[in-house]
Amino acid sequence: MGNFINSTTLIPLIPLVTSLFILILLASFNRTLNRLTKPVTVLVALSLLSSAFISSYDYFKKIEEKLVLSEFLEFFEEKNLVIHLNLVNEKIIIFFSLIMILIIGISFYKLPRKKGYVSLMISLGLISSSVILSILLIDFSSLI
């Protein structure tokens, strides 16, 4: 159970923490960080790739469990939030992460990186993290 908790919570947390870290750096070093578009792109893409890798590892190991957040975090004590990790959710997360990595790669080559590019990468990372968390909170195996 402990291994499941670690891998499940890491899937949406890695892009979230990476994006928040870049956001803090952007707020602190605005001019310098706006010039570092390649490392920012690589960080966001690697965070999504690591989430896809963890999810694919769970998929190939056929890990299917439910994690009730109120049992582990006091903040969710009154709420009935359950993270569902099953084969369907893992496939969706892998597919979504690869699409987001493709979008990041296309935006790196096609968009001008003068202004707003780092903010775009932060937004893509935060959106990806929230969508991955939403995927984990919905049990898609019961819908199919």
| pLDDT per residue as tens digits for the range 10-47 | 888 899 999 999 999 888 887 777 788 888 899 999 99
How many residues would you count in the chain? 144
Domain positions in the chain: 2-143
pLDDT of residue 82: 76
Residue 144 has pLDDT above 80, yes or no: no
- List, in sequence order, the alpha helices (H) in 1-144: 2-28, 30-35, 37-60, 87-110, 117-137, 140-143
Contact between 59 and 91 (Cβ < 8 Å): yes
Average pLDDT rounded to a whole number, residues 79-93: 82
**Which one-letter amino acid corresponds to residue 51?**
S
Task: Report the distance separating Cα 22 and Cα 28, nearest Å.
Answer: 10
What is the dihedral sign for C-alpha 34, 35, 41, 43?
Answer: negative
Task: Report the distance separating Cα 5 and Cα 113, nearest Å.
Answer: 38
Strand partners, 67: 83
Task: Report the distance separating Cα 116 and Cα 80, nearest Å.
Answer: 38
Average pLDDT rounded to a whole number, residues 72-97: 78
